[in-house]
Amino acid sequence: MSKRKAVSIVLTRNPESPEVYLVERNPALKFFGGYFAFPGGTLDEEDHSAQIANAAVAQPDSLPFMAAAARELFEETGVLLARGDNMIEAGKRRHYRQQLLAGEIDFHEMLGRESLAIDARDFHFMGAVLTPEFAPVRYDTQFYWVQVPDGQMPEIVHGELVSGNYCHADAALVRWKRGEMIIVPPVIFMLREFAGHSVAAGTPAILKHTEDYSRGAIHQIYFTPGVQMVPLATGTLLPATHTNAYLVGESQLYLIDPAPSDPNEQQRFWNYLDKRLAEGCEFKAILLTHHHADHVGALQACVERYGLPILAHRNTAEKLGIMPTRYLEHGDELDLGESPDGQPDWQLKVYHTPGHASGHLAFQETRYGSVIAGDMISTLSTIVINPPDGHLAAYMESLRLLESVTTGTIYPSHGPAVRTGREVLRYFIKHRQEREQKLLATLTAEPQSTYELVRRVYNDVDPAIWSLAELSLQAGLIKLREEGKCAERGGGFVKRS
Ligand SMILES: [Zn+2]
């Protein structure tokens, strides 16, 4: 898992106001496309050797972050945060920015040529956040609050970003709760601290938050309102190292998949749950997507600690040897109370989605259409279909069911959430169909063993995962056999036509 250094800039035009500049990322971007965020980006090589005035007021290791902040701010918004006797006038700034975006000049050289310097006094540290473990690439991001220089107006050039605006924190949160805008997760908790008071007054609370994070506190990760993702370390299948538990609801919460078996990781989880209780939240029940060990490691401990009922599918309960308070079935609805924007009758719908596991359930909240998909999809790797409890034909049918109902973000058990849930499901359906076609095309009248077949059908993937792929291959052979398209003969598999 790679880590990259990045910087985010909280730009204000009036430090006494809770107003910050938010940029809208191009929906076509793979990383947080369509989301609103603060301006910023990753550190470049050149940022490490940049000259910074009054460097003594800052931590030495924060200087490259400041250099990157000034550069990214100029690239993304045209705001030039530097000091000197003669600030370059607007027309020349625009010209420099075009050259910079075209890769014709170097930002720090440009400053030198114009006798301008980045000044450490212009940057107010708000904390550092390391992307939680759900993501394949993790960013070590430092946040700086900066005041826009007099007479400058941020301006977006259409490309990676498509718009930008100063927004009042509370107004942005209202729009977010209405589902009118989506905002990258760390910005949400910062906006919450700005709401009602100035950015300057909100800064100490944000610093405390980020310090707690660095000491292991659970991050507040919301890709959409009302669904909190809680990545917890489990002994799951690589490349995943974590399972996402979920808290769904606003003040009455359902807890989905208490996953970790490690006592230290459980303790991290309890600390967070205790905090939510202390804030006045109520836990209604534990819901299980399915019985696999990397989803239920803390189940018993969680029941004992919080005295919560368990709601699960009958097959899941049987596999775990537990007697749940209630069996969940396809079509059930659980009451979530009021939605984050105050709408009544917010429900959590239950879908029976067998295939990965025969008792697998997915859940959809009705306000934003988000789907908690469990192990129906993973945004890190392929889902393993392990017969006999795993069944490929049933899995395909369940994928199609979810594809037909998903209107919002999809939340997997492993990996980040994706805003375009339905597209993701379509991609996985297509991917499985193509693999099935390849298997069908590889089968001949001559018997081939699964050992031989896996090498031919999965010749485009890393041989290290062939042993896992063999499980999927077997699931594929069962499906074709059920459909009368293949048969077992002479210790191998042959095509039937
Ligand atoms: Zn599973």
C-alpha angle 181-280-328 in degrees, rounded to nearest 5: 75
Regarding whether 101 and 49 lie in a shared domain, the answer is yes
CA of 485 to the centre of ligand 1 (A): 28
Regarding whether 210 and 258 lie in a shared domain, the answer is no
Regarding whether 427 and 290 lie in a shared domain, the answer is yes
Where on the phi/psi map is residue 44: left (φ > 0), alpha (ψ -120 to 50), or beta?
A: beta
Regarding whether 457 and 406 lie in a shared domain, the answer is no
Please answer whether residues 371 and 410 qualify as being in contact, where contact means their C-beta atoms are separated by less than 8 angstroms.
yes
Regarding whether 238 and 139 lie in a shared domain, the answer is no
Residue 374 has pLDDT above 90, yes or no: yes
CA of 159 to the centre of ligand 1 (A): 39
Residue 440 has pLDDT above 90, yes or no: yes
Q: Largest Cα–Cα distance of the chain, in whole Å?
A: 86
Question: Could you report the per-residue pLDDT of 97-114, keeping only the tens digit for each?
Answer: 999 999 999 999 999 999
CA of 205 to the centre of ligand 1 (A): 38
Beta bridge partners of 22: 165
C-alpha angle 335-338-339 in degrees, rounded to nearest 5: 100
CA of 31 to the centre of ligand 1 (A): 26
Residue 196 has pLDDT above 90, yes or no: no
Question: Could you report the per-residue pLDDT of 375-385, keeping only the tens digit for each?
Answer: 999 988 889 89
CA of 129 to the centre of ligand 1 (A): 30
| 3-state SS assignment for residue 183 | strand
Residue count of the chain, please give it.
497
Report the CATH number that the domain containing residue 98 is assigned in CATH.
3.90.79.10
DSSP symbol at 158? B
CA of 30 to the centre of ligand 1 (A): 26
H or E segment and range at residue 254: strand 252-256
Q: What is the mean pLDDT of the chain?
A: 93
Residue 1 has pLDDT above 60, yes or no: no
Among 434, 457, 473, the domain-final residue is 434
Question: Could you report the per-residue pLDDT of 256-276, keeping only the tens digit for each?
Answer: 999 999 999 999 999 999 999
Regarding whether 121 and 263 lie in a shared domain, the answer is no
Residue 15 and residue 403: Cα distance in Å, rounded? 46
Regarding whether 20 and 71 lie in a shared domain, the answer is yes
Question: Could you report the per-residue pLDDT of 130-170, keeping only the tens digit for each?
Answer: 988 777 788 999 999 999 999 999 999 999 999 999 999 99
Residue 311 and residue 384: Cα distance in Å, rounded? 24
Regarding whether 204 and 226 lie in a shared domain, the answer is no
Residue 279 and residue 146: Cα distance in Å, rounded? 32
CA of 414 to the centre of ligand 1 (A): 10
Kindly state the average pLDDT of the residues 47-58.
92
CA of 462 to the centre of ligand 1 (A): 22
pLDDT confidence of 195, banded at 50, 70, 90?
A: confident
CA of 354 to the centre of ligand 1 (A): 11
CA of 290 to the centre of ligand 1 (A): 7
Kindly state the average pLDDT of the residues 169-182.
95
Residue 464 has pLDDT above 60, yes or no: yes
Regarding whether 302 and 226 lie in a shared domain, the answer is yes
Kindly state the average pLDDT of the residues 111-132.
94
Among 170, 196, 214, the domain-final residue is 214
CA of 415 to the centre of ligand 1 (A): 13
Count of the separate structural domains present in the chain:
3
Structural domain for 421, as ranges: 221-434
Regarding whether 166 and 231 lie in a shared domain, the answer is no
Please report the beta strands in 131-251, taking only residues with DSSP state E, as ranges in sequence order.
137-147, 161-168, 221-224, 227-233, 242-248
Report the CATH number that the domain containing residue 385 is assigned in CATH.
3.60.15.10
CA of 405 to the centre of ligand 1 (A): 22
CA of 375 to the centre of ligand 1 (A): 5
| 3-state SS assignment for residue 428 | helix
CA of 239 to the centre of ligand 1 (A): 14
The CA-based dihedral angle spanning residues 265, 184, 144, 214, taken in that order and rounded to the nearest 10 degrees:
0
Question: Could you report the per-residue pLDDT of 15-44, keeping only the tens digit for each?
Answer: 788 899 999 999 998 888 999 999 999 999
pLDDT of residue 87: 86
CA of 463 to the centre of ligand 1 (A): 22
pLDDT of residue 15: 78
pLDDT of residue 166: 96
Regarding whether 426 and 332 lie in a shared domain, the answer is yes
CA of 289 to the centre of ligand 1 (A): 9
Which of the residue ranges 91-100, 244-253, 466-475 would you say has the lowest mean pLDDT?
466-475
CA of 291 to the centre of ligand 1 (A): 7
Regarding whether 488 and 406 lie in a shared domain, the answer is no
Kindly state the average pLDDT of the residues 475-489.
94
Among 214, 239, 261, the domain-final residue is 214
Question: Could you report the per-residue pLDDT of 320-329, keeping only the tens digit for each?
Answer: 999 888 999 9
CA of 318 to the centre of ligand 1 (A): 16
